[in-house]
């Protein structure tokens, strides 16, 4: 899948799930996309790693506020526990999610990143998947839980956890490329 000329924003904070950041990061780059990594602060953040500590370091190049000003084709939200918890209470991240959804950009979330979608208030009438422990959150936010590994609803792409990244990417990559 060729994504040359496409711009993808990935938003993370300390406590991101290592697989759910690095797989998308390198997959988008492999396809030729310009990948912009943003967060509440720039600099180095660490993933969850083993038992929630000692994860891989990642460099955050842009603030979320700066990413809001970029012309993106897609927004990707990796899971984890502490990164989504931080981002779901970060007003600029919620603004970015709402703006991306409103613009019809591809928006993807995996695992507990669906908490960010819940807090952004963008799930009304949408079908999505998530870990079972979040089902009530999704339903209380107006979303419809679907018990499948990966789900597409228009421009929204969700997956349960990192084991289903291939399924999510098979659905999402053609949409970013502009295919039906």
Whether 112 is catalytic? yes
- The neighbour count for residue 36, using CB atoms within 10 Å, is 18
CA distance 146 to 119: 19
Query: Cα separations (Å) of 166 from 20, 23, 112, 113?
Result: 11, 9, 17, 17
Element (H, E) at 100: helix 91-103
Contact 85, 115 (CB under 8 A): yes
Catalytic sites, residue numbers: 112
């Amino acid at each position: 899948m060729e994504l040359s000329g496409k711009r993808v924003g990935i938003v993370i904070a300390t406590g991101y799930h290592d697989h759910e950041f690095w797989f998308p990061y390198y997959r988008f780059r492999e396809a030729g996309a310009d990948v912009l990594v943003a967060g509440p602060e720039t600099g180095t953040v660490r993933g969850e790693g083993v038992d929630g500590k000692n994860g891989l370091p990642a460099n955050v190049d842009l603030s979320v506020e700066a990413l809001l000003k970029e012309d993106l084709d897609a927004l990707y939200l990796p899971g984890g526990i502490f990164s989504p918890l931080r981002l779901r209470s970060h007003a600029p991240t919620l603004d970015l999610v709402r703006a991306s959804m409103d613009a019809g950009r591809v928006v993807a979330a995996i695992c507990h990143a669906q908490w960010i979608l819940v807090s952004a208030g963008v799930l009304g009438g949408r079908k999505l998947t998530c870990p079972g422990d979040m089902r009530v959150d999704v339903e209380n936010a107006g979303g419809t839980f679907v018990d499948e590994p990966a789900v597409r609803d228009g421009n929204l792409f969700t997956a349960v956890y990192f084991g289903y990244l291939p399924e999510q990417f098979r659905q999402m990559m053609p949409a970013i490329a502009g295919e039906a």
